Structure 1
Amino acid sequence: MEKEMTPAARAERSVITTYRRTIWNRFIGAIRDYRLISPGDRIGVCISGGKDSALMAVLFSHLQKYSEFPFEVRYICMDPGYTPENRQLIEHNMRTLGIDAQYFETSIFRSVESVQDSPCYLCARLRRGYLYSCAQELGCNKIALGHHFDDVIETTLMSMLYGAEVKTMMPKLHADHFENMELIRPLYLVREHDILAWKNYNGLRFLQCACRFTQDVADQYHDSKRLEVKNLIAAMKKVNPQVDINIFRSMENVNVGQVIATKKNKIKKSFLEDYDK
């Protein structure tokens, strides 16, 4: 009789069978296209407790076993002050998925409890700083975050509609305050609905928002605007199914000769500077 697979084996196998085209190939595609991993890297895979980072951990676990070149992985869960119930759920999910996560305690939630303006923004900044610090302690030169394709296109539109600028969420970037550290986003090409499908296929349950005070002081403006943009994209896709990929590709096809001005390193350049040349 064939031995029944463990939940961890089933979850890992599903990304290279059932979801090979929609998840695995796009994960590998992002790593290849954006040169996210190099031989000898030690990558801190950051676990937030949600579906995206859990999938990313499973993908890295499989990739490391069969990679064409050597690299190391450390699975990092920075606890910003989760309730005992949320912490237990994260630990349960990591055990279920066979991920050996290392946990770091902080008091970030307590630090931003009294902040009235954009507490979610401040919390995210503090959490990222702690993740870099934890990763450095473990000898990592990169951290991996679980932002996906939908996050990318929503951020692109939000920047235009509410920030009055054209920019996007990058697949990788250098850390500003941590020397020789980089941030990578390996789920950059993976759609959120495919992540949800993988989660449901494997019968998994993850945290939505683990913030202890989100109902009281959360950044309602930012959250509502992101949801507004998500709904806008969904509505436009009913008319043009290619809208999401077109938004994404627009950031690969910026014609700098047909914009009024560009900006790099905080220096703005008008088209008039080269107009008569």
Structure 2
Amino acid sequence: MRADYFNKRGVTVEIKPLAQIERSIQKNYRKYIWSPFIKAIKDYKLIEEGDVIAVAISGGKDSLLMAKLFQMLHRHTEINFTPIFISMDPGFNEVNKNNLIANCKHLDLPVHFYDSDIFEVAGRISGDYPCYMCARMRRGFLYARAKELGCNKLALGHHFDDVIETTMLNVLYAGNFKTMLPKLHSSNFEGLELIRPLYYIREESIKSFTTSNGIPAMNCGCSVAAGETSSKRREIKELIATLKKTNPLVDKSIFKAAENVNVDVVLGYQMNNQKYSFLDFYDDEKIIEE
């Protein structure tokens, strides 16, 4: 196991021992990581009796933390469920691949590794903008492996910030109100659900945990995207940060907005692929000014 690594500035960083990393989740980060993780599972019924859950590990900070949380929950919970850790090499260079393997080993995560050529295929199809295609292909690949392993759920590491940024991206650039849900039924793999257990956990908490424990998590590992956030998502992230300077609770408000949609006072909405206008019910429901 590694004892240290070099960060981006060339400074040697010590990787904390496994026991210390696990202890920090329960103690130092109990309020900001462990408790929100448990709350999301309970609130949205993400884990149920008898579940076999494929926990996807990309090698990034979010998925490594999620895998560790699942492993620790499995040790201590009374719920009878089975986590199976899966990871794929979509075409990493040797450094990133070795980093992924070493991190999983250091964190004591027994992982099923799979090889693929998704980076190459996505790049060939989408050229300089492969991120969307790559994400779809990777998810499909993970679903297929989860199905082969007899899993009924696939866990991905999307967090609180991913949720609110997706909501704002849809409002500002797609002209619709859609958010990233905590769980979904797969449309292409019958009997499989996608779950997002980090739904309440903020990215800053994940970054703090990763840095304080010296875990050398990688970015996406793609040579084209070079680990950068997409320009639109980065723009939204910066916008939210700017808004928080005058309204520190703006991120919570964006999140809560998706829980408090009042269809009585919107121009239109869609349900089951059917589009509805407020005019469809205007005379029946006698909409009046408040």
Structure 2 unaligned regions, length at least 5: 1-15, 285-290
Partner-residue secondary structure (3-state), 1:257? helix
Equivalent residue number for residue 50 of structure 1:
60
Q: How far apart are the structure 2 equivalents of 1:41 and 1:10?
A: 29
The answer to which of 117-126 and 94-103 deviates more is 117-126
Match for 1:181 among 189, 192, 209?
Answer: 192
Equivalent residue number for residue 138 of structure 2:
127
Q: How far apart are the structure 2 equivalents of 1:116 and 1:85?
A: 24
Any idea what the Cα deviations from partners look like across 1:152-196, whole Å, max 9, x if unmatched?
000000000001000100000000000100000000000000001
TM-score of the two chains, using structure 1 as the length reference: 0.94
Contact preservation (8 Å) 2:244, 2:251: yes
Any idea what the Cα deviations from partners look like across 1:255-274, whole Å, max 9, x if unmatched?
00000000122211000011
Contact preservation (8 Å) 1:75, 1:102: yes
Identity %, equivalent residues = 49
Q: Which amino acid aligns with 2:235?
A: E
Equivalent residue number for residue 244 of structure 1:
251
TM-superposed deviation, 1:243: 0.1
Equivalent residue number for residue 3 of structure 1:
none
Q: How far apart are the structure 1 equivalents of 2:265 and 2:274?
A: 18
The alignment of Structure 1 onto Structure 2 pairs a total of residues equal to 268
> Cα RMSD (Å) of the superposition?
1.4
Q: Which amino acid aligns with 2:76?
A: Y
Q: Following TM superposition, where does structure 1 have runs of at least 4 consecutive aligned residues deviating by more than 4 angstroms?
A: none
Any idea what the Cα deviations from partners look like across 1:2-38, whole Å, max 9, x if unmatched?
xxxx722221111110000100000000000000000
Equivalent residue number for residue 105 of structure 2:
95
Match for 1:193 among 200, 204, 223?
Answer: 204
Q: How far apart are the structure 2 equivalents of 1:166 and 1:54?
A: 30
Contact preservation (8 Å) 1:80, 1:108: yes
Tell me whether 1:269 sits opposite 2:276 in the alignment: yes
Contact preservation (8 Å) 1:11, 1:58: no
TM-score of the two chains, using structure 2 as the length reference: 0.90
Q: Which amino acid aligns with 1:48?
A: S
Q: How far apart are the structure 2 equivalents of 1:119 and 1:200?
A: 29
Partner-residue secondary structure (3-state), 2:283? coil
